Structure 1
Amino acid sequence: MLRSSEFEALLDLSARIGADPELVQGAGGNTSIKEGDTLWIKASGLWLAEARQRDIMVPVALDPLLDALDRDDPAAEKAQDFVIEELNLSGLRPSIETTVHALMPQKVVIHVHCVATIAAAVQTNAAAIAAERLAGIPYAFIPYARPGLPLARAIGERIDADTAVLVLGNHGLAVAADTIEEAALLLVDVSDRFAGLVRSAPAADLPALSRLAVNSAYRLPECEGLHDAATDLESCRIAAGGSLYPDHVIFLGKGSVIAAPEDTALSIEEHFLEAGETLPPLLLFPGKGVLVLKDITAGALAMARCLSDVAARIPASARLRYLTDAENAELLGWDAEKYRQQLNRAGQVLQ
């Protein structure tokens, strides 16, 4: 299929930002371009980092989708009914945030889970932080709403034709422009404005962690940065408070498992199995480091890294807005996210 030069440029940008864990983790984030009446958007469950390795974009009929959104038609939630099948050669499913991209009038939309932005967007005064950091940029702050139709509705109520940046409470960042180059530059500008101090963390106690993992389903992670969420006690305290953003819930479960002083990985494992519950992918041992499941998926591993990266950027004095029990349950019971979880388990396991 013949693609425009702008489409090709979007694939290049998608691959580049998808390879940056400070912007995108695993299958998170999405990009889109509007060409005529067609919205091309990243498929659900696929990785932006693979944009040059495989087909990741899905064609969606833009006007019918917007009409459905105006009518509050539930079909707009998944957007599958609006896929242009004759152009969807790989049979992909649209991103769960297709409606968000459709609502933005600009040609190009880039949605990322920028860790610096998330670190601000989870604070109770996130709207004030955004106002200070984004002075001079036409932006909107969107309080947390579940991705999909609830988020699209919240955005529709708060944007106008000039809005170029969305700061999504407890979620992330979206930028929009009429060219790929402008969108890329805006993403860099906004990300830089949210960048701040990053707390350093002590090194992990690898011998102690190795002992704690004996006879369990857990192991040491290869990435040393994962340990920061546990060795930095401020970050560990933040993690202990609960879930801060949707993809944490989807890939790591509700909140974080913080080991008690007497716990081992095996004792935690036995507790979960006795309760008939799924083993958590990540265990935090305060002051020592973390252990991960031996068969942890790539998506969960990426979100474990994200936890360290976000927590280290949250000031110790910050007051945080955690996702509520109802918001956690809504994410875990949502069909669209169950699809992403299924793809994650089926094709993204680290051996």
Structure 2
Amino acid sequence: MKPSDLRAELQALRDFSARIGADLLLTQAAGGNTSLKEGDTLWIKASGTWLAHARERDIMVPVQMAPLLDAVANAQPEAEQAQLFVLTDQNPSGLRPSIETTVHALMPHRVVAHVHCVDTIALAVREDAMPILQDRLCGSNWAYVPYRRPGLPLALGIAEHRRDRPDVIILGNHGLVIGAETVADAAALLSQVKQLLKQDARPAPAGDEGALSKLAGNNYRLPADAAAHAVAMDTGSTAIAIGGSLYPDHVIFLGMGSVAATAGETADDVVARLGMAPVEILFPGKGVLMRRDATAGADAMARCLADVTARVPEGAPLRYLTSEENLELTDWDAEKYRQNLDAIASSAIRDVS
């Protein structure tokens, strides 16, 4: 391929990525990733970067696929360290590839997009998801992969379906992966699947920000997005949220599960009762408060929690992440790296403002 053709394709990928990143029902904060294969090189979104910034920032990293896939095939520890396979001479920013690099490398498609689609997650957390998915995706070449930790375990789960070459993969308790041969085809497929899996959201009244401000004390604040209040303004959503962690990025940016205040409690009361300060506190009937140092990623995931829970029917059988699965995420170096980048970026935003 001519260098000019590759530049044009990468620009198309950046445009596609930015459109995905601007849609809160598809991606939130640094979640989700896109990629393009050219020969043995995989261009993939960098860890900790936002798809929404794809047009104005350099967020794509070139990775050499052959040695990475060899490490996966031989179950070598390096398979979990995609940064070891970066083509450094083409990565002047020194970015680190996505924690899902192995997922993209193992997909046979030339263009791959992994998104945390809210409508998909609202189905993928349900224990009765399969018959619904079979009905909604009838006629599509799709597969379902039960929850596995992001990174190599998830990649190996996807690899089990390589022979069938599914274009659509539903990830239990996680999200959606689609593959195509061109950026345009990937965009069209993603739009189609999003529509097929669309869920109706329960309406909720606006949060009572006046009452919340009186409960915040010195260490808590209102959320960046008022839509985040909905999780505490609908009893069904609140019950779902406090049941536990439903997907990985919730654990990474908001902590394990969700915390709800009891009647009459202030934010300080909740902290005293728990002996720790949750990133987000739900005040049923009033809304939510965020810890004052909560990052931009945490605010985005607070909105995501409201969006997901509103789309899960009350009484639906749910599959929450286990204690072991929660710990796998919080103790993983790759996720600590993402948390650190999120904290640095949020600090820079606070300094400017």
Normalised by the shorter chain, which TM-score bucket? Answer: over 0.9
1:44-123 alignment, distance < 5 Å = 44-123=47-126
1:11-30 alignment, distance < 5 Å = 11-30=14-33
Once the two structures are TM-superposed, the CA of residue 271 in structure 1 deviates from its matched residue by 4.1
User: How many positions carry a matched residue from both structures?
Assistant: 346
1:166-245 alignment, distance < 5 Å = 166-213=169-216, 215-245=217-247
Of 320, 331, 334, the residue aligned with 1:333 is 331
**Residue matched to 1:324:** 322
Residue 49 of structure 2 aligns to a residue in which SS? coil
Once the two structures are TM-superposed, the CA of residue 6 in structure 1 deviates from its matched residue by 1.2
Preserved contact between residue 126 and residue 169 of structure 1 (Cα < 8 Å): no
Unaligned ranges ≥5, structure 2: none
Once the two structures are TM-superposed, the CA of residue 201 in structure 1 deviates from its matched residue by 0.5
How many Å separate the matches in 2 of 1:81 and 1:313?
40
Of 10, 27, 37, the residue aligned with 1:7 is 10
Preserved contact between residue 216 and residue 269 of structure 1 (Cα < 8 Å): no
How many Å separate the matches in 1 of 2:200 and 2:22?
22
- Which residue type is aligned with residue 235 of structure 2? L
Residue 144 of structure 2 aligns to a residue in which SS? strand
- Which residue type is aligned with residue 280 of structure 1? P
- Which residue type is aligned with residue 149 of structure 1? L
- Which residue type is aligned with residue 164 of structure 1? D
Runs (4 or more) in structure 1 with deviation over 3 Å come to: none
Residue 160 of structure 1 aligns to a residue in which SS? helix
Once the two structures are TM-superposed, the CA of residue 287 in structure 1 deviates from its matched residue by 1.2
Once the two structures are TM-superposed, the CA of residue 62 in structure 1 deviates from its matched residue by 1.0
RMSD of aligned residue pairs (Cα, Å): 1.3
How many Å separate the matches in 2 of 1:332 and 1:144?
16
Unaligned ranges ≥5, structure 1: none
Higher mean C-alpha displacement, 286-295 vs 313-322: 286-295
Once the two structures are TM-superposed, the CA of residue 64 in structure 1 deviates from its matched residue by 1.3
User: Normalising to structure 1: TM-score of the pair?
Assistant: 0.96
User: Normalising to structure 2: TM-score of the pair?
Assistant: 0.95
How many Å separate the matches in 1 of 2:131 and 2:68?
33
How many Å separate the matches in 1 of 2:291 and 2:56?
28
Of 243, 246, 256, the residue aligned with 1:254 is 256
How many Å separate the matches in 1 of 2:251 and 2:57?
27
**Residue matched to 1:310:** 308
Once the two structures are TM-superposed, the CA of residue 159 in structure 1 deviates from its matched residue by 3.2
How many Å separate the matches in 1 of 2:102 and 2:331?
20
Preserved contact between residue 224 and residue 299 of structure 2 (Cα < 8 Å): no
Once the two structures are TM-superposed, the CA of residue 157 in structure 1 deviates from its matched residue by 1.3
How many Å separate the matches in 1 of 2:156 and 2:42?
19
How many Å separate the matches in 2 of 1:221 and 1:247?
17
Preserved contact between residue 230 and residue 289 of structure 1 (Cα < 8 Å): yes
Q: Deviations over 1:66-121 (max 9, x none)?
A: 11111111111121111111111111101000000001111000100000000000
How many Å separate the matches in 2 of 1:206 and 1:35?
50
Residue 26 of structure 1 aligns to a residue in which SS? coil
Q: Deviations over 1:181-223 (max 9, x none)?
A: 100000001010110211000222222212211x331112242
Preserved contact between residue 105 and residue 161 of structure 1 (Cα < 8 Å): no
Residue 66 of structure 2 aligns to a residue in which SS? helix
How many Å separate the matches in 2 of 1:127 and 1:88?
41
